[in-house]
Chains A and B, each alone.
Chain A
Amino acid sequence: MSYTLDQKQLDRIEEILKTDLIDNGVRCVFLIDMAGNIVTNLDNGEKQHDIYSLAALAAGNFGAVSAMAKIIGESEFSLLFHKGKKENIHFNKISSEFLLITIFGNDISLGFLRLKVSESVEQLKRILEALMTAHA
Protein backbone atom coordinates (compact mmCIF):
# COMPACT_ATOMS: atom_id res chain seq x y z
CA MET A 1 0.00 0.00 0.00
CA SER A 2 1.31 3.43 -0.90
CA TYR A 3 0.10 6.63 0.64
CA THR A 4 0.23 10.28 -0.25
CA LEU A 5 0.27 13.55 1.65
CA ASP A 6 -0.69 16.72 -0.14
CA GLN A 7 0.86 20.16 0.14
CA LYS A 8 -1.77 21.42 2.60
CA GLN A 9 -1.31 18.49 4.99
CA LEU A 10 2.47 18.78 4.82
CA ASP A 11 2.37 22.54 5.38
CA ARG A 12 0.20 22.02 8.44
CA ILE A 13 2.54 19.31 9.80
CA GLU A 14 5.59 21.52 9.25
CA GLU A 15 3.88 24.45 10.94
CA ILE A 16 3.16 22.34 14.04
CA LEU A 17 6.74 21.04 14.19
CA LYS A 18 8.22 24.49 13.67
CA THR A 19 6.10 26.28 16.25
CA ASP A 20 6.22 23.60 18.94
CA LEU A 21 9.73 22.28 18.52
CA ILE A 22 12.18 24.19 16.29
CA ASP A 23 11.13 27.58 17.70
CA ASN A 24 11.65 26.18 21.19
CA GLY A 25 15.27 25.24 20.54
CA VAL A 26 15.13 21.73 19.05
CA ARG A 27 17.94 21.31 16.49
CA CYS A 28 16.29 18.86 14.17
CA VAL A 29 12.96 17.07 13.98
CA PHE A 30 11.68 14.49 11.58
CA LEU A 31 8.50 12.61 11.12
CA ILE A 32 8.95 9.13 9.67
CA ASP A 33 6.82 6.09 9.03
CA MET A 34 7.64 2.67 10.42
CA ALA A 35 8.98 1.54 7.05
CA GLY A 36 11.73 4.14 7.42
CA ASN A 37 10.36 6.69 4.94
CA ILE A 38 10.72 10.37 5.80
CA VAL A 39 7.43 12.22 5.78
CA THR A 40 8.92 15.56 6.69
CA ASN A 41 12.04 16.95 8.30
CA LEU A 42 12.97 20.35 9.68
CA ASP A 43 16.10 21.72 11.30
CA ASN A 44 17.32 24.99 12.71
CA GLY A 45 19.91 25.33 9.94
CA GLU A 46 22.95 24.61 12.15
CA LYS A 47 23.71 21.03 11.16
CA GLN A 48 22.85 18.72 8.29
CA HIS A 49 22.50 15.03 9.06
CA ASP A 50 22.22 12.05 6.73
CA ILE A 51 18.50 11.92 7.39
CA TYR A 52 17.67 8.95 5.15
CA SER A 53 20.06 6.68 7.02
CA LEU A 54 18.91 8.11 10.33
CA ALA A 55 15.28 7.38 9.44
CA ALA A 56 16.03 3.78 8.38
CA LEU A 57 17.96 3.10 11.57
CA ALA A 58 15.39 4.87 13.77
CA ALA A 59 12.52 2.81 12.36
CA GLY A 60 14.57 -0.37 12.83
CA ASN A 61 15.58 0.64 16.33
CA PHE A 62 12.01 1.40 17.31
CA GLY A 63 10.85 -1.91 15.87
CA ALA A 64 13.54 -3.77 17.80
CA VAL A 65 12.56 -2.07 21.05
CA SER A 66 8.87 -2.84 20.45
CA ALA A 67 9.78 -6.51 20.02
CA MET A 68 11.71 -6.33 23.31
CA ALA A 69 8.65 -4.83 24.99
CA LYS A 70 6.52 -7.75 23.88
CA ILE A 71 9.01 -10.27 25.26
CA ILE A 72 8.79 -8.74 28.73
CA GLY A 73 5.00 -8.47 28.55
CA GLU A 74 4.56 -4.79 27.66
CA SER A 75 2.45 -3.93 24.64
CA GLU A 76 4.98 -1.25 23.64
CA PHE A 77 7.45 1.37 24.81
CA SER A 78 5.96 4.45 23.25
CA LEU A 79 8.99 6.68 23.75
CA LEU A 80 12.75 6.27 23.71
CA PHE A 81 15.55 8.59 24.64
CA HIS A 82 19.27 8.32 23.87
CA LYS A 83 21.60 10.67 25.72
CA GLY A 84 24.88 11.85 24.25
CA LYS A 85 27.51 14.36 25.42
CA LYS A 86 26.27 17.18 23.23
CA GLU A 87 23.36 15.76 21.24
CA ASN A 88 20.38 13.79 22.43
CA ILE A 89 17.76 11.97 20.47
CA HIS A 90 14.15 11.36 21.44
CA PHE A 91 11.65 9.04 19.72
CA ASN A 92 7.92 9.29 20.24
CA LYS A 93 5.36 7.02 18.65
CA ILE A 94 2.45 8.88 17.06
CA SER A 95 0.41 5.92 15.86
CA SER A 96 1.06 2.37 14.74
CA GLU A 97 2.48 3.79 11.51
CA PHE A 98 4.30 6.99 12.43
CA LEU A 99 7.16 8.11 14.63
CA LEU A 100 8.40 11.57 15.63
CA ILE A 101 12.13 11.97 16.19
CA THR A 102 13.79 15.01 17.71
CA ILE A 103 17.47 15.83 18.06
CA PHE A 104 18.31 18.41 20.70
CA GLY A 105 21.22 19.77 22.73
CA ASN A 106 21.73 20.07 26.46
CA ASP A 107 20.23 23.58 26.52
CA ILE A 108 16.74 22.09 26.59
CA SER A 109 15.57 20.00 29.52
CA LEU A 110 14.17 16.57 28.78
CA GLY A 111 10.96 17.41 30.67
CA PHE A 112 10.31 20.51 28.57
CA LEU A 113 11.06 18.60 25.38
CA ARG A 114 8.70 15.78 26.32
CA LEU A 115 5.95 18.29 27.05
CA LYS A 116 6.40 20.00 23.69
CA VAL A 117 6.69 16.69 21.83
CA SER A 118 3.50 15.38 23.37
CA GLU A 119 1.65 18.57 22.41
CA SER A 120 2.83 18.18 18.80
CA VAL A 121 1.99 14.49 18.77
CA GLU A 122 -1.61 15.18 19.74
CA GLN A 123 -2.00 17.57 16.82
CA LEU A 124 -0.18 15.34 14.34
CA LYS A 125 -2.30 12.37 15.34
CA ARG A 126 -5.41 14.09 14.04
CA ILE A 127 -3.89 14.74 10.60
CA LEU A 128 -2.24 11.33 10.24
CA GLU A 129 -5.09 9.22 11.58
CA ALA A 130 -7.43 10.75 9.01
CA LEU A 131 -4.88 9.80 6.36
CA MET A 132 -4.55 6.18 7.45
CA THR A 133 -8.32 5.73 7.73
CA ALA A 134 -8.74 7.15 4.24
CA HIS A 135 -6.30 4.52 2.90
CA ALA A 136 -7.54 1.59 4.98
Chain B
Amino acid sequence: MAFVNLKTKVIQVKIVYYGPGRGGKTTNLEYIYRKFQQRINSEMVTVKTHGDRTLFFDFLPFDIGMVNGYNIKIQLYTVPGQVKYNATRRLVLRGVDGVVFVADAMAVCRGKNMQSLENLQENLASYKKNLNALPWVLQYNKMDLLEQGIPLLPVEMLEQDLNREFHAPHFTASAVKGTNVAATLKKIISLTIASIKKELL
Protein backbone atom coordinates (compact mmCIF):
# COMPACT_ATOMS: atom_id res chain seq x y z
CA MET B 1 0.00 0.00 0.00
CA ALA B 2 2.03 2.90 -1.23
CA PHE B 3 1.55 6.12 0.66
CA VAL B 4 1.55 9.37 -1.28
CA ASN B 5 2.31 12.52 0.69
CA LEU B 6 1.09 15.48 -1.34
CA LYS B 7 2.61 17.97 1.05
CA THR B 8 6.19 16.73 0.95
CA LYS B 9 5.73 15.14 -2.53
CA VAL B 10 7.03 11.79 -1.32
CA ILE B 11 5.80 8.33 -2.33
CA GLN B 12 6.78 5.42 -0.07
CA VAL B 13 6.88 2.06 -1.83
CA LYS B 14 7.19 -1.34 -0.13
CA ILE B 15 8.96 -4.18 -1.93
CA VAL B 16 9.24 -7.58 -0.22
CA TYR B 17 11.80 -10.30 -0.99
CA TYR B 18 10.05 -13.63 -0.45
CA GLY B 19 11.19 -17.23 -0.84
CA PRO B 20 12.32 -20.39 0.93
CA GLY B 21 14.75 -20.34 3.86
CA ARG B 22 18.45 -19.97 3.04
CA GLY B 23 17.54 -19.00 -0.51
CA GLY B 24 19.47 -15.69 -0.54
CA LYS B 25 16.92 -12.99 0.26
CA THR B 26 19.08 -11.34 2.91
CA THR B 27 22.15 -11.78 0.67
CA ASN B 28 20.34 -9.81 -2.07
CA LEU B 29 19.75 -6.93 0.33
CA GLU B 30 23.30 -7.07 1.69
CA TYR B 31 24.68 -6.84 -1.84
CA ILE B 32 22.39 -3.89 -2.66
CA TYR B 33 23.44 -2.19 0.57
CA ARG B 34 27.16 -2.61 -0.24
CA LYS B 35 26.86 -1.69 -3.88
CA PHE B 36 24.66 1.41 -3.51
CA GLN B 37 25.96 2.60 -0.15
CA GLN B 38 26.54 6.15 -1.36
CA ARG B 39 22.83 6.48 -2.17
CA ILE B 40 21.55 4.82 0.99
CA ASN B 41 21.62 7.23 3.87
CA SER B 42 20.52 4.88 6.59
CA GLU B 43 21.67 1.60 8.10
CA MET B 44 20.29 -1.73 6.99
CA VAL B 45 18.14 -3.04 9.81
CA THR B 46 18.16 -6.77 10.46
CA VAL B 47 16.43 -8.76 13.16
CA LYS B 48 18.29 -12.06 13.39
CA THR B 49 18.51 -15.04 15.69
CA HIS B 50 21.81 -16.27 17.12
CA GLY B 51 22.24 -18.67 14.23
CA ASP B 52 22.30 -15.70 11.82
CA ARG B 53 18.93 -16.59 10.31
CA THR B 54 16.37 -13.87 9.69
CA LEU B 55 13.91 -13.87 12.57
CA PHE B 56 11.66 -10.99 11.69
CA PHE B 57 12.80 -9.10 8.63
CA ASP B 58 15.61 -7.11 7.05
CA PHE B 59 14.82 -3.56 6.09
CA LEU B 60 16.64 -1.29 3.68
CA PRO B 61 15.23 2.11 2.68
CA PHE B 62 16.67 4.26 -0.13
CA ASP B 63 15.72 7.06 -2.50
CA ILE B 64 15.66 6.58 -6.24
CA GLY B 65 15.08 10.22 -7.12
CA MET B 66 12.18 12.00 -8.72
CA VAL B 67 9.41 10.52 -10.84
CA ASN B 68 6.73 12.92 -12.13
CA GLY B 69 7.74 15.47 -9.51
CA TYR B 70 7.53 12.99 -6.63
CA ASN B 71 10.46 11.80 -4.56
CA ILE B 72 10.28 7.99 -4.50
CA LYS B 73 11.38 6.22 -1.34
CA ILE B 74 11.84 2.51 -1.87
CA GLN B 75 11.65 0.31 1.21
CA LEU B 76 13.04 -3.18 0.75
CA TYR B 77 12.02 -5.90 3.18
CA THR B 78 12.85 -9.59 3.42
CA VAL B 79 10.74 -12.17 5.19
CA PRO B 80 12.05 -15.02 7.35
CA GLY B 81 12.09 -18.03 5.03
CA GLN B 82 11.82 -20.76 7.61
CA VAL B 83 8.46 -22.53 7.49
CA LYS B 84 7.72 -21.99 11.19
CA TYR B 85 7.77 -18.19 10.89
CA ASN B 86 4.64 -17.84 8.80
CA ALA B 87 2.93 -15.38 11.14
CA THR B 88 5.88 -13.02 10.71
CA ARG B 89 5.90 -13.46 6.94
CA ARG B 90 2.26 -12.47 6.77
CA LEU B 91 2.95 -9.36 8.87
CA VAL B 92 5.77 -8.21 6.62
CA LEU B 93 3.57 -8.60 3.54
CA ARG B 94 1.07 -6.13 4.88
CA GLY B 95 0.81 -3.19 2.49
CA VAL B 96 3.20 -4.73 -0.05
CA ASP B 97 3.48 -3.00 -3.44
CA GLY B 98 5.83 -5.43 -5.22
CA VAL B 99 7.42 -8.83 -4.61
CA VAL B 100 10.73 -10.45 -5.58
CA PHE B 101 10.45 -14.21 -5.24
CA VAL B 102 13.95 -15.58 -4.62
CA ALA B 103 13.95 -19.26 -5.57
CA ASP B 104 16.83 -21.55 -4.66
CA ALA B 105 18.04 -23.16 -7.88
CA MET B 106 19.68 -26.12 -6.13
CA ALA B 107 18.09 -29.37 -7.29
CA VAL B 108 17.35 -30.41 -3.70
CA CYS B 109 15.22 -27.27 -3.19
CA ARG B 110 12.60 -27.96 -5.86
CA GLY B 111 9.85 -28.79 -3.37
CA LYS B 112 10.76 -25.96 -0.99
CA ASN B 113 10.43 -23.39 -3.80
CA MET B 114 6.97 -24.57 -4.79
CA GLN B 115 5.86 -24.73 -1.17
CA SER B 116 7.09 -21.19 -0.52
CA LEU B 117 5.33 -19.82 -3.62
CA GLU B 118 2.12 -21.46 -2.51
CA ASN B 119 2.60 -19.96 0.94
CA LEU B 120 3.12 -16.52 -0.65
CA GLN B 121 -0.17 -16.86 -2.50
CA GLU B 122 -2.00 -17.89 0.68
CA ASN B 123 -0.56 -14.98 2.63
CA LEU B 124 -1.33 -12.48 -0.13
CA ALA B 125 -4.89 -13.77 -0.23
CA SER B 126 -5.30 -12.81 3.43
CA TYR B 127 -4.81 -9.20 2.25
CA LYS B 128 -7.05 -9.75 -0.77
CA LYS B 129 -4.08 -9.62 -3.14
CA ASN B 130 -2.86 -12.10 -5.71
CA LEU B 131 0.09 -12.66 -8.00
CA ASN B 132 -1.94 -11.91 -11.12
CA ALA B 133 -2.62 -8.37 -9.97
CA LEU B 134 0.58 -7.57 -8.05
CA PRO B 135 3.89 -6.58 -9.68
CA TRP B 136 6.39 -9.38 -9.04
CA VAL B 137 9.53 -10.92 -10.48
CA LEU B 138 11.27 -14.25 -9.95
CA GLN B 139 14.94 -14.64 -9.24
CA TYR B 140 16.54 -18.05 -9.72
CA ASN B 141 19.41 -17.72 -7.31
CA LYS B 142 22.66 -19.60 -6.66
CA MET B 143 23.49 -20.12 -10.34
CA ASP B 144 27.18 -19.79 -9.39
CA LEU B 145 27.04 -23.17 -7.63
CA LEU B 146 27.14 -24.94 -10.99
CA GLU B 147 30.88 -24.19 -11.16
CA GLN B 148 31.32 -26.19 -7.98
CA GLY B 149 29.54 -29.17 -9.46
CA ILE B 150 26.40 -28.81 -7.33
CA PRO B 151 23.32 -30.05 -9.25
CA LEU B 152 20.99 -27.20 -10.16
CA LEU B 153 17.45 -27.14 -11.52
CA PRO B 154 17.32 -26.16 -15.21
CA VAL B 155 15.68 -22.78 -15.82
CA GLU B 156 12.97 -24.47 -17.93
CA MET B 157 12.03 -26.63 -14.95
CA LEU B 158 12.00 -23.66 -12.55
CA GLU B 159 9.80 -21.79 -15.01
CA GLN B 160 7.49 -24.76 -15.33
CA ASP B 161 7.27 -25.24 -11.55
CA LEU B 162 6.85 -21.64 -10.48
CA ASN B 163 6.01 -19.36 -13.36
CA ARG B 164 3.84 -21.47 -15.67
CA GLU B 165 0.58 -19.64 -15.01
CA PHE B 166 2.01 -16.20 -14.35
CA HIS B 167 4.70 -15.48 -16.95
CA ALA B 168 6.31 -12.98 -14.59
CA PRO B 169 9.75 -11.63 -15.55
CA HIS B 170 12.54 -13.88 -14.28
CA PHE B 171 16.29 -13.57 -13.74
CA THR B 172 19.00 -16.15 -13.17
CA ALA B 173 21.25 -14.77 -10.47
CA SER B 174 23.95 -15.17 -7.91
CA ALA B 175 23.25 -13.01 -4.89
CA VAL B 176 26.65 -13.84 -3.38
CA LYS B 177 28.50 -12.60 -6.48
CA GLY B 178 25.98 -9.87 -7.27
CA THR B 179 25.05 -11.25 -10.69
CA ASN B 180 21.66 -9.87 -11.75
CA VAL B 181 20.88 -8.59 -8.24
CA ALA B 182 20.67 -5.01 -9.51
CA ALA B 183 18.77 -6.12 -12.64
CA THR B 184 16.16 -7.87 -10.48
CA LEU B 185 15.83 -4.80 -8.30
CA LYS B 186 15.54 -2.44 -11.26
CA LYS B 187 12.83 -4.57 -12.83
CA ILE B 188 10.68 -4.78 -9.70
CA ILE B 189 11.06 -1.05 -9.04
CA SER B 190 9.97 -0.13 -12.57
CA LEU B 191 7.02 -2.56 -12.52
CA THR B 192 5.89 -1.36 -9.10
CA ILE B 193 6.13 2.32 -9.95
CA ALA B 194 4.25 1.78 -13.20
CA SER B 195 1.50 0.01 -11.27
CA ILE B 196 1.25 2.76 -8.64
CA LYS B 197 1.13 5.40 -11.37
CA LYS B 198 -1.68 3.53 -13.08
CA GLU B 199 -3.60 3.26 -9.84
CA LEU B 200 -3.23 6.91 -8.90
CA LEU B 201 -3.52 8.71 -12.19
Contacts and interface: CB of A to CB of B under 8 A. Distances in A.
A36 B75 contact: yes
Interface string B1-35: 11111110000101000000000000000000000
Contacts of B12: 37-38
Interface residues of B, number: 31
A67 interface: yes
Contacts of A63: 91, 94
Secondary structure of the B contact surface, majority rule = mixed
A119 interface: no
Interface in A36-51: 36-40, 50
B173 interface: no
B5 A35 contact: no
B122 interface: no
Nearest to B93: A35
Contacts of A53: 42-43, 45, 59, 61
B4 A3 contact: yes
Contact of A34 (B42, B56, B59, B95): B95
A39 B4 CA distance: 9
B43 A60 contact: no
B137 to A, nearest CB: 20
Interface in B53-82: 56-57, 59, 61, 73, 75, 77
Best-buried of B43, B47, B87 by chain A (most CB within 10 Å): B87
Given A2-B199, A4-B200, A56 B42 contact: no
B88 interface: yes
B92 interface: yes
Contacts of B88: 64
B127 to A, nearest CB: 9
Contacts of A40: 5
Interface string B132-155: 000000000000000000000000
B5 A10 contact: yes
B4 A4 contact: yes
Contacts of A39: 3, 5
B114 to A, nearest CB: 26
13 contacts: A2-B1, A2-B196, A3-B1, A4-B6, A5-B4, A33-B95, A35-B94, A35-B95, A36-B95, A37-B75, A56-B45, A56-B77, A63-B91
Interface of A: 1-7, 10-11, 33-40, 50, 52-53, 56-57, 59-60, 63-64, 67
